[in-house]
Amino acid sequence: MGNLLCKPKCMAVLAIALLFFGLQTASAGVVVIGNRGLGVNSITKAQAANIFLGKMTTWADGTPITVIEHRDGDLAKDQFYNKVVGKTPSQLKAYWAKLVFTGEGVPPKEYAGDNTVKARVAGTPGAIGYVSDDSADRSVKILYEAK
């Protein structure tokens, strides 16, 4: 009988723990990162949005911006576009489809996961990307934090 009473209580505790962990993961922020050689140390939310939408293609000193993008479905990508750009995954697809169709732009090449994005940004002059805030390290500059 003791086991039967413990089951609902144990299940409730487990459910609360999973819910708390899920909320912690979902509320994690993203940071926009840049190559350490960039001549800028920070950017605004609007600048970040313009860069990732292909509206800003060079840094102030004339250096071309290389955008390093996450693959579709990556949590960091969904969070970044929601918090910084204000677009859902389907809105983003429609945006790039229109630009490709009209010949006005090509979406950036996509990479899998924070570690790959961070390594590409670190190794590419003029590069910018974004990762989960707990993935950033000294190999890159943090240019903007979206919490």
Contact 120, 111 (CB under 8 A): yes
Give residue-wise pLDDT tens across range 29-56.
999 999 999 999 999 999 999 999 999 9
32 contacts: CB under 8 Å, gap ≥ 6: 43, 48, 80, 84, 128, 129, 130, 142, 143, 144, 145, 146
Asked whether the predicted pLDDT for residue 3 surpasses 80, the reply is no
Report pLDDT for 7: 61
Stated pTM of the model: 0.80
Give residue-wise pLDDT tens across range 86-141.
999 999 999 999 999 999 999 999 999 999 999 999 999 999 999 999 999 999 99
